[in-house]
């Protein structure tokens, strides 16, 4: 299980990223200031860091600079509200491996994390577990963003793909609508919405209604 250091002082975003990463098989640790971020990062106990720039204590640029000066090659993805070209160039030239601006889509962040973890070049850890998921003819390639049903490729939207991936990573497990909302849609979605039911219906049409079972009063599961 890949250990991810999330450095973010805005609690809603931090918990949103933490929940999303846990749902996709990662082991995230969240810290909310630059000093703690540097201390954690220099232990060598993490495979990747998601780094905000506007932090209490020392800012993200300084965290990155000290980390690289210490000889760490751990991949760093900057995730910041600073979105000017100057900030992007400064971050990348300072040693970041990638740069994303807020607001952001979790699916894109997840894809970038997986990409960086697959790069060799002296990184601290290995690849992400199970990039290809398969169960009874339903096959999902998380890297290629490709889904096949009994060998036939099907086109899924980003949300449908994320929903299918969650089911395939928890085969046979009953997932409540609240769990699915948190895993697929995140912290800022209306809990009273029927979006889960709608997207389960969409997914059934494309992969086969018999594959996703409704467990009355509890949720859904991949059978």
Predicted pLDDT at 76: 93
Q: What's the average pLDDT block by block, 10 residues per block, for the chain (223 residues)?
A: 91 92 92 93 91 93 91 90 86 88 86 77 42 86 84 88 86 84 63 81 93 91 90
Q: What is the pLDDT of residue 129?
A: 45
Determine the pLDDT at residue 122. Answer: 41
Q: What is the pTM assigned to this prediction?
A: 0.57
Residue 128 is predicted with a pLDDT of: 40
Which residue segments constitute the domains of the chain, with CATH numbers given? Answer: 3-118 (3.40.50.2300), 132-222 (1.10.10.10)
In sequence order, what are the residues at sequence separation of 6 or more whose Cβ sits closer than 8 angstroms to the Cβ of residue 120? Answer: none
| pLDDT value at residue 127 | 39
Question: If you count them, how many residues does the chain have?
Answer: 223
Strands 152-154 and 219-222: unpaired
Kindly provide the residue ranges of all beta strands, DSSP E only, lying in 127-172, ordered along the sequence: 132-135, 138-141, 146-149, 152-154
């Amino acid at each position: 299980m890949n250990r991810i250091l999330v450095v973010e002082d805005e609690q809603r975003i931090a918990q949103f990223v933490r929940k999303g990463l846990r749902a996709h098989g990662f082991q995230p640790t969240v810290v909310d200031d630059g000093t703690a971020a540097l201390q954690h990062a220099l232990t060598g106990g993490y495979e990747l860091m998601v780094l905000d720039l506007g932090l209490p204590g020392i800012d993200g640029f300084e965290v990155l600079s000290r980390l690289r000066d210490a000889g760490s090659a751990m991949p760093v993805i900057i995730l910041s509200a600073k979105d000017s070209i100057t900030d992007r160039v400064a971050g990348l030239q300072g040693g970041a491996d990638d740069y994303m601006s807020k607001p952001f889509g979790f699916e894109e962040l997840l894809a970038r994390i997986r990409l960086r973890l697959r790069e060799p070049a002296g990184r601290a850890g290995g690849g992400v577990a199970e990039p290809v998921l398969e169960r009874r003819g339903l096959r999902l390639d998380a890297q290629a963003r490709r889904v096949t049903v009994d060998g036939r490729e099907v086109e899924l939207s980003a949300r449908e793909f994320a929903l299918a991936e969650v089911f395939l990573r928890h085969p046979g497990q009953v997932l409540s609508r609240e769990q699915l909302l948190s895993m697929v849609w995140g912290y800022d979605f209306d809990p009273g919405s029927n979006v889960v039911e709608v997207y389960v219906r969409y997914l059934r049409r494309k992969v086969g209604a018999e594959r996703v079972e409704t467990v009355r009063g509890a949720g859904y599961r991949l059978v």
